[in-house]
Amino acid sequence: MKILIAGAGEVGTHLAKLLSTENHDIVLLDNDHKRLEFAHDDNFDIMPVLGNPTSMKALAMAGAGEAELFISVTPEESMNVVACILASKLGAKKTMARINNNEYLQPDKKAFLASLGIDDMVYPELLAAKEIASGLKLPWTRQYWSLFDGKLDLIAVKIEPHSRLVGRHLYELGDLETKLFHIVAVRRLYHTIIPTGADIIQAGDIVFFTCAPEDKDTVRQFCGKEDIQVKKVFIMGGSRIALRAAELLPSDFKIKIIELDHDHCKRLIDAAPSNVMVINGDARDPRLLKEEGIELSQAFLALTANSEANMLATVAAKRMGVYRTVARIENIDYLDIAVQMDIGNLINKKLLAAASIFRHLLNIDVTNVKCLSIGQADVLEVVATPASKITKAPVKDLKLPKGITLGGLLREGQAILIDGNTVIRPKDVVMIFCVDTPMSRIRSLFA
């Protein structure tokens, strides 16, 4: 597929690198030659083009007319909207724009923009805020995702030393798993593995479970976790993600946003919900945190643009007794380090944006995609067809490619946990968990 990406910032650069490994024809357009320098590296199959994404001449030179997918992800929303409209007029088959205005996602506004040539939009800050709000519902998890419109859950949990799972082979859980949960993958130190029955759960492992929503508490008990309810939240940094998250959290939460910039505090006061208190100060100052009652809070969210500051602040908050910590980490190289630092939930806009875009690239019926920040993995919900290879034999006989496993399926509205004897049927929606795996391997199973 020929893909033209406008904007070589954080999101655009990450997308270009990621998609170039999937055998796509990638062109990266930006008006700053310094941001395009990395694309000259022989390790990346990316063609850099210097030019303004809102210039029809530059778009034509970059091949917008032949692009099967045009993605504009510059930091400027207005530039992305204009670039997509122009690319569509030049002949791009499909366009996507990065936005930072929730208003554009309203049905009437979305329909209007579609009439102008903008087929889809990605709002990374809103995706991040939804991830945060979802995770605070289950603060004992590292990450939590609702699949199949709420009929199945995928939960990542760090195993405590006193957990009933520690020291047990997975085959010992066979009888229990068929009723309550399925272990999909295990993150141990810097690696994520697809386990077999002979693998043993160890203290400190981060284990990925699928289970029915009503069985989440059973998973919590097996992992040795406390049942903590979040009601008071501290947020470091008044970013767009922080504001969106505050809007999505329940109105009975007591939220304090601590922002260093005095003028920005004034804007936050006008925009934030009524249950939010805005404080002008430095959230890295332990005296300020203690004065504001950090010891009475259950969650601390570090959401500034500085990954290093966020990591250090969350570590400090945990030492002060905060149960749930969340750090925004935009430098992907830091993610493994952050996991080992036991920071908690990690938020990365690049991965969230990539997941939103990936579903357009597989040429199969994909209903949902998630790129996991703590597992070096992706999760997809894919619809099986009568011709799909995955429907031709029981799961145990499919010889799935290395790095791929199945966590569950949705059949006629009912969620089912998968085991070796399960036979996938046409129209089943299947949850795929893949570790460091090219998307083409998934396509081969479902095409």
Please check whether residues 117 and 201 belong to one and the same domain.
Answer: no
Report the candidate in 443, 426, 447, 432 with the shortest Cα–Cα distance to residue 384. Answer: 426
Instruction: Say if 430 falls within a structural domain.
Output: yes
Structure tokens that stand for 196 in this block: 């077999």
Domain end among 223, 244, 260 = 223
Please check whether residues 396 and 289 belong to one and the same domain.
Answer: no
Instruction: Say if 131 falls within a structural domain.
Output: no
Instruction: Say if 340 falls within a structural domain.
Output: yes
Please check whether residues 373 and 427 belong to one and the same domain.
Answer: yes
Please check whether residues 371 and 344 belong to one and the same domain.
Answer: no
Whole-Å CA distances, 319 to 289, 294, 297, 426 = 12, 11, 13, 51
Instruction: Say if 132 falls within a structural domain.
Output: no
* CA angle (246, 10, 48) in 5-degree steps: 150
Residue 432 belongs to domain spanning:
353-446
Please check whether residues 193 and 301 belong to one and the same domain.
Answer: no
Please check whether residues 378 and 430 belong to one and the same domain.
Answer: yes
Domain end among 223, 254, 274 = 223
Please check whether residues 95 and 26 belong to one and the same domain.
Answer: yes
Q: pLDDT 10s digit of each residue in the chain, 447 long?
A: 899 999 998 889 888 887 887 778 999 999 999 999 998 877 788 999 999 999 999 999 999 999 999 999 998 999 999 999 999 999 999 999 999 888 899 999 999 999 999 999 999 999 999 999 999 999 999 888 889 989 999 999 999 999 999 999 888 876 554 568 999 999 988 788 899 889 999 999 999 999 999 999 999 999 999 999 999 999 999 999 999 999 999 999 999 999 999 999 999 999 999 999 999 999 999 999 999 999 999 999 999 999 999 999 999 999 999 999 999 998 888 888 888 888 888 998 888 887 778 766 665 566 666 666 665 678 888 899 999 999 999 999 988 888 889 999 999 999 999 888 899 999 999 999 988 777 667 777 887
Instruction: Say if 129 falls within a structural domain.
Output: no
- Number of domains making up the chain: 4
Please check whether residues 47 and 159 belong to one and the same domain.
Answer: no
Domain with 25 in it: what CATH number? 3.40.50.720
Instruction: Say if 133 falls within a structural domain.
Output: no
Please check whether residues 345 and 369 belong to one and the same domain.
Answer: no
Instruction: Say if 85 falls within a structural domain.
Output: yes
Please check whether residues 375 and 432 belong to one and the same domain.
Answer: yes
Please check whether residues 331 and 431 belong to one and the same domain.
Answer: no
What local confidence, expressed as pLDDT, does residue 71 receive? 95
Please check whether residues 58 and 27 belong to one and the same domain.
Answer: yes
Whole-Å CA distances, 444 to 104, 172, 390 = 35, 33, 9
The strands making up 152-158's β-sheet, listed across from edge to edge, are 143-147, 152-158, 206-211, 181-188, 191-193
Domain end among 223, 249, 276 = 223
Domain with 209 in it: what CATH number? 3.30.70.1450
Instruction: Give per-residue burial for 399-416: e unless 16+ CB within 10 Å, then b.
Output: ebeebbbbbbbbeeeebe
Instruction: Say if 46 falls within a structural domain.
Output: yes
